[in-house]
Amino acid sequence: MTSLADRLRERIRSEGPIAFSEYMNAALYDPEDGYYADPSFTTGRSGDFATAPDTGPLMGATLAEPVEAFAEQGSRLVELGPGSGRLVTDVLDQLSEEARQRLEVVLVEPFEARQQALADRVEEDTGHRPRVVGDLEPVEPGRTFLLANEVLDALPVDVLAKTEDGLDAMHVDLDDGDGFVEVWQPAEPPLAEAAAPVAPRLPEGGRYELSRGLEELLRSVAGTLDPGVAAVFDYGGRFDDLWGQGSSGTLRAFREHQHAEVLEDPGEVDLTADVDFSRVMGLADALGLAETAYGGQDRLLVHLGLVEVARQRDRMQEVKQLLVPSRSTGFGERFRALVLDRGGVADTLDLAVDLDDPDVWTRAMEDMGGEEGLAGLGSDLF
């Protein structure tokens, strides 16, 4: 069988340099050899990277509180990119039996080869068999609570660089030894048009990653919430914070929890870029979705009762991993939470909140005995 790398080389020899977004799409989502197509793909200790649910059940158990309040008859819980199903399993485990019976659970897993095992695993762990679909298209509009944890950062991106002449875009070519190398070409009109809102604000020499698939995904989400809320968790920030002062870019690769070369071994390493939440919120607003909360993931979880849930479950040692800011030791301030609402549902679920309110953090620190109490908790990721 021809490897993905060899197929990409043949394409480049035939067509010339390809846009980086096309390389990234193949590397992650090729149906045969893409990184996420591997039936054995997992996160956590045995994977290439970890997500917040890998630290334990606290994130899902905390999110269960608004899901419980949302779970009227005819409601559904949808998760995009569920991976192994850990997050939805942790949510379901915390729900009352009455709420579980009222909810339809829908998991969006694009790779058919992974769907059966995912449904079986969640059913075995929770007794609740989810419906698994390849995308949101077959999900009819309805009362929906949607979760997306570390989904947006995996959308293929074009990498742009501001020059004195305009915008250049990264392409992938071959060197004399058939290795993959980056080359730069002027951004073609469709890409330049998509980048028009950010291009004037990007300093000369700065790089920016733009996902042209983001708008389509948000459009699908907006079409599903009728009414409903979407809770989005990912690393990133507002444009001005991450890219507005000039940036060398946020694109990176991971293998076995270490940084890897972006253009080595397509299909065998994870590729990711920080999420521009300013763009997410702008596109969402144009689609009729209201932002009701935005800020550190840690602050939203604390607001929803993370510390209380940890105490009830005698899992206080896991709290620090959801609060400290470093990616190497936890999932705190650098990870952002965004709540999008259609129909005023967020107000009824305590998901319309100013996460910049210092009282949110002050109350959490008091509950844990101040910064000294937080420091006394363990810091190992697993």
Label residue 321 by pLDDT band (50, 70, 90).
confident
Asked if pLDDT for residue 337 goes beyond 90, the answer is yes
Tokens coding 179: 């290795």
Higher pLDDT pick, 1 / 306: 306
Asked if pLDDT for residue 374 goes beyond 80, the answer is no
Show the domains of the chain with their CATH numbers: 52-153+213-244+270-375 (3.40.50.12710)
Q: Please state, for a pLDDT cut of 90, what percent of the chain lies above it.
A: 75
Q: Give tens-digit pLDDT for 41-59.
A: 776 665 666 788 888 899 9
pTM comes to 0.92
| DSSP state at residue 130 | P
Asked if pLDDT for residue 375 goes beyond 60, the answer is no
Asked if pLDDT for residue 326 goes beyond 50, the answer is no
pLDDT at 380: 46
Asked if pLDDT for residue 26 goes beyond 90, the answer is yes
CB atoms within 10 A of CB 332: 20
Mean pLDDT of 129-136: 97
Q: Are 29 and 61 in contact (CB under 8 A)?
A: no
What angle in degrees, to the nearest 10, is found between the helix axes of 86-94 and 58-70? 60
Rounded-to-integer distance, Cα 71 and Cα 95, Å: 10
The side-by-side arrangement of strands in the sheet containing 270-272 is: 258-260, 252-255, 270-272
Asked if pLDDT for residue 324 goes beyond 80, the answer is no
Tokens coding 298: 């840690």
pLDDT at 369: 60
pLDDT at 53: 86
